[in-house]
Amino acid sequence: MRYLMMSKNTDTPPDENLYTEMGKFIEELSASGVLLATGGLEPSGIRMTSSGGEITVTDGPFAEAKEAVGGFALVEVRSKEEAIEIGRRFLRIVGDGESVMQQVFGP
Amino acid sequence: MDAHRAVDAAWKRESATIIAGLMRVVHDVGLAEELAQDALVAALEQWPASGVPENPGAWLTTIAKRRAVDHIRRSQRLDRKHEQLARELGQQPEPAQDDVLRLMFISCHPVLPTEARVALTLRVIGGLTADEIARAFLVSEPRIAQRIAAAKRVLAEAQVPFELPDASELAPRLSSVLEVIYLIFNEGYSATSGDDLMRPALCLEALRLGRLLAELAPDEAEVHGLVALMEIQASRSAARTGPAGEPVQLHEQNRGRWDRLLIRRGFTAMLRAREIGGTPGPYVLQAAIAVCHAQARTPEDTDWAQIAALYEALARLLPTPVVQLNRAVAVGFAEGPLAGLALVDALTADPKLRDYHLLPGVRGDLLVRLGRHAEAQLEFERAASLAKNAAESAFLRRRADEIGLAAAPGPTVGQAAEEFLERADLNAATIRSYRQTLRRLRLTVGDQLPLASLTADHVAHVFATAWDDASAKTWNRHLSAVRTFGAWASLHHLAAGIERRAETRSRTEAISSPQLDALLRRPGLPLRERTLWRLLYDSAAGVTAVLALNLEDLDLDDRRARAGGSRVSWRAETARLLSDLIAGRARGPLFLSDRRPGPSRTPADADICPDTGRRRLSYERAEYLFKQATKAVDPAGNGYTLRQLKRGA
């Protein structure tokens, strides 16, 4: 099963140490065949809304920067517990913050 | 409960590294795995109460190492060296990734039978329990547990070192690892039995093992080839089963449901394999074929000529019937169904494919495209009855039904066979034997074939593919069964193309004393034959040695003779015969031929009787006479050989 993990932006800017730790973590997850895709997301973005058939396109930044997703990882795991275990390790590296994980169905 | 599952998840992620790390110290997979299991048990006891520790992997590793130290301290060999080792173990850096690779080479070691390699690899590298492995392979848990225990024992006895193989050994050892991974993948991807077409958990395990191996052995093209092959095949998982779990063939799959992410990963792996270069191995070739399919946006876009060429290259490396069959499919698309059918028909004579459901399945496809619907229908029926997987069998049955031709009038082969076996006048043993014969006949020609269409060619094909290697006795038993069936069904020509086979006795089968007595009682049997046969039986001496006997060699009083390096002795009856045969001669060969040598033949003096001028009896002649004399009593009708006279031979 696959999970999409999304981490929301934090106030604290990443330091050198975090980059190294995260690099190691990503390498390990790739090596063990768990990590399928990952990436960081630009803080600003494009917002599209449809209302009454009318589509509005708005450029970022978002009103609530903390609500924006800063990065994602698509993992292939044996169980929900394994996804949680990976989430734990991720959070331990990035420190305080919030992550959301959702199982991916399909394609 | 949740904590248990958390422990399990952590364990599966870490077990390979933990076991590999322990291997460095204990050098025994069984022990290393046991120590690691101890750590797992400790986690199961403590985590539900204490919560999952910050770094579960490190926690498990620490406990396992502590157990290893305890074990070494407890063990008899408590010397300085081990104390030292135990101390080092505490400070050892994280085990290198190479350790996991070493462990893989051990769990896939060629000293183990393939099934054991698969089970052990899933156990120590995948961290699966025996129960999980058993469920994946639809066998009982004790059997998997036994398999794993036996594998550990074999490895311990063989003292397989915890090392990476030498350069000279690397290729075969690596191919064993690849084989195990691909076996696991295939069992998941196209389950050979059971009701479900796929067992995704096994595919995932294999993919993870493959991806891991690609990181550990990045310079091996075949490893990347295997990963590419698995990624691309897995990309079609969702598309290859329909809503009811039925298989959907490649050219009918909704390509929009192919997983582009996995395809891209497959392409990337393929690129890595190409960058390494070298002559493409079997996995790289198979991956290249998979790439061709993945690149085609529609079935019509498929580059079948390229695929056929790749299969041809693959068939040179792996000339297996299954590869040949796939090649026939590709050729069927590249050059037309008739060309494909020619290749498939060449395969139908291969006994290895006789129960392979895809052979009639592929033939059926080609026949449909050629408009030969009645034949196609029969082939699909036959394929359905051969398929072991329920979903696949149902699918093939439906393909037969779709053709929808009305059955020809009159009974089918299947119906006739059932009716024949229900005859009241046969005993149970005969029916059992007939059923065996007819079962094979039905599997090969198909139950739905109209009985009236069953020909001697069909039957000859059955015999050639099924029983060509069987003993003459078995061959003849099936032949009588078919003849009886033919006579019953008024198809008298049925076994016309098949000859009875001579049931030769094996050389080691000796003639019994009553058999010999019966032979010797025969009226008119010449004294020479009577004596020779009796002497051979009595003495158990070699035929050549006995024929080489000269009168000078015989010690008639002691009933023995020296023949070359061996001694020949006999009993009273033979002694009587011998004295009659010698009849006053003093020198020269004991056994003489009936005739004098022809003018062109000049035998050595030692082979000529000085009294009569007759030459020594030759082996060929003696053998011929014996065969002639015993033809009538040999059930196979060949006659026996003189060697068979040797008692206890």
pLDDT digits (tens, 9 = 90+) for B608-633: 888 888 888 988 889 888 988 888 77
Q: What angle do CA B399, B242, B210 make, to 5 degrees?
A: 110
Q: Are strands A69-76 and A2-8 parallel, antiparallel or unpaired?
A: antiparallel
- CB atoms A84 and B6 under 8 Å: yes
Q: Which of A81, A82, A105 to probe by mutation at the B interface, max B CB count within 10 Å?
A: A81
pLDDT at B80: 58
**Whole-Å CA distances, A21 to A28, A29, B29, B528:** 11, 12, 32, 98
What pLDDT, in 10s, does the model give residues B20-32? 988 888 888 999 9
Q: Is B349 on the interface with A (CB under 8 A)?
A: no
End-to-end CA distance of chain A: 12
**Neighboring chain A residues of B9 at a CB cutoff of 8 Å:** 78-79, 81-82, 84-85
Bond prior to A107 in cis (omega within 30° of 0): yes
Calculate how close chain A gets to B294, using CA atoms only, in Å: 15
Helix (H, G, I), strand (E, B) or coil at B431: helix
What pLDDT, in 10s, does the model give residues A69-107? 888 999 999 889 899 989 988 888 888 888 999 999 876
Q: Which of these, B76, B75, B102, B79, lies nearest to B21 by C-alpha position?
A: B102
Calculate how close chain B gets to A14, using CA atoms only, in Å: 21
Do B615 and B511 form a contact (C-beta atoms < 8 A)? no
pLDDT at B505: 55
Q: Which residues of chain B have pLDDT under 70?
A: 1, 76-97, 191-198, 424, 504-508, 564-565, 597-602, 647-649
pLDDT at B599: 63
Nearest to B261 among A34, A37, A85 (CB): A37
Q: Which of these, B225, B202, B201, lies nearest to B214 by C-alpha position?
A: B225
pLDDT at B424: 66
pLDDT at B420: 87
Do B457 and B449 form a contact (C-beta atoms < 8 A)? no
Q: How far is CA B584 from the centre of its chain?
A: 64
- CB atoms A81 and B97 under 8 Å: no
Candidates 1.10.150.120, 1.10.10.10, 1.10.443.10, 1.10.10.60; CATH matching B513-645 = 1.10.443.10
Q: What average pLDDT does the structure give for chain B? A: 86
CA distance B296 to B291: 9
Calculate how close chain B gets to A33, using CA atoms only, in Å: 5
- CB atoms B204 and A74 under 8 Å: no
The DSSP result for B166-215, as a single string, is PHHHHHHHHHHHHHHHHHHHHHHHS-SSSS-S--HHHHHHHHHHHHHHHH
pLDDT at B76: 57
pLDDT at A3: 95
Kindly identify which residue of chain A lies nearest to residue B52, measuring between CA atoms: A85
pLDDT at B188: 82
pLDDT at B504: 66
What pLDDT, in 10s, does the model give residues B268-311? 999 999 999 899 999 999 999 999 999 999 999 999 999 999 99
* Domain A2-104, CATH: 3.30.70.1060
Do B7 and B47 form a contact (C-beta atoms < 8 A)? yes
CA atoms within 13 A on the CB side of B20: 25
Do B537 and B647 form a contact (C-beta atoms < 8 A)? yes
* Close Cβ partners of B340 (under 8 Å, ≥ 6 residues apart): B328, B329, B331, B332, B333, B362, B366
Kindly identify which residue of chain B lies nearest to residue A89, measuring between CA atoms: B55
* Close Cβ partners of A27 (under 8 Å, ≥ 6 residues apart): none
- CB atoms A33 and B97 under 8 Å: no
Q: Is B588 on the interface with A (CB under 8 A)?
A: no
CA distance B105 to B90: 26
Q: What angle do CA B442, B447, B453 make, to 5 degrees?
A: 90
Tokens describing residue B322: 């299954």
Question: Which amino acid is located at B86 in the chain?
Answer: A
Nearest to B9 among A32, A81, A92 (CB): A81
Q: Is A39 on the interface with B (CB under 8 A)?
A: no
Tally C-beta pairs within 8 A across A and B: 58
**Whole-Å CA distances, B65 to A99, B25, B43, B59:** 34, 9, 14, 10
Alpha-carbon torsion, ordered A30, A31, A32, A34, to 10 deg: 10
Q: Is A20 on the interface with B (CB under 8 A)?
A: no
> Which H or E element spans position B77?
none
CA distance B426 to B497: 26
Q: Is A105 on the interface with B (CB under 8 A)?
A: no
CA distance B109 to B23: 15
Taking only residues 174 to 213 of chain B, the set having a beta carbon closer than 8 angstroms to any beta carbon of chain A reads 201, 204, 207-212
Helix (H, G, I), strand (E, B) or coil at A70: strand
Calculate how close chain A gets to B212, using CA atoms only, in Å: 5
Helix (H, G, I), strand (E, B) or coil at B441: helix
pLDDT at A66 over 70: no
CA distance B464 to B249: 32
Q: Are strands B566-569 and B560-563 parallel, antiparallel or unpaired?
A: antiparallel
Taking only residues 318 to 337 of chain B, the set having a beta carbon closer than 8 angstroms to any beta carbon of chain A reads none
pLDDT at B316: 94
CA distance B195 to B593: 74
**Whole-Å CA distances, B30 to A30, A67, B10, B65, B125:** 29, 51, 21, 15, 13
The DSSP result for B460-525, as a single string, is HHHHHHHSTTS-HHHHHHHHHHHHHHHHHTT-TTTTTT------PPPTT-PPPHHHHHHHHTSTT-
- CB atoms A33 and B210 under 8 Å: yes
Q: Hey, CA dihedral for B349, B350, B353, B358, is it positive or negative?
A: negative
* Close Cβ partners of B439 (under 8 Å, ≥ 6 residues apart): none
User: How many residues comprise chain B?
Assistant: 649
Question: What are the boundaries of each domain within chain B?
Answer: 2-196, 413-488, 513-645
Q: pTM of the prediction? A: 0.67
Q: Are strands A2-8 and A54-59 parallel, antiparallel or unpaired?
A: unpaired
Nearest to A81 among B6, B54, B97 (CB): B6
Do A80 and A101 form a contact (C-beta atoms < 8 A)? no
Calculate how close chain A gets to B160, using CA atoms only, in Å: 25
The DSSP result for B4-18, as a single string, is HHHHHHHHHHHHHHH
- CB atoms A33 and B52 under 8 Å: no
Q: Which of A1, A4, A85, A92 to probe by mutation at the B interface, max B CB count within 10 Å?
A: A85
Q: Which of these, B96, B290, B272, lies nearest to B182 by C-alpha position?
A: B290
- CB atoms B12 and A74 under 8 Å: no
Kindly identify which residue of chain B lies nearest to residue A79, measuring between CA atoms: B9
What is the 3-state composition of chain B as percent helix, strand, coil, each rounded to the nearest 5? 65, 5, 30
Nearest to A82 among B9, B212, B261 (CB): B9
CA atoms within 13 A on the CB side of B97: 11
- CB atoms A74 and B261 under 8 Å: yes
pLDDT at B456: 87
Nearest to A82 among B13, B201, B259 (CB): B13
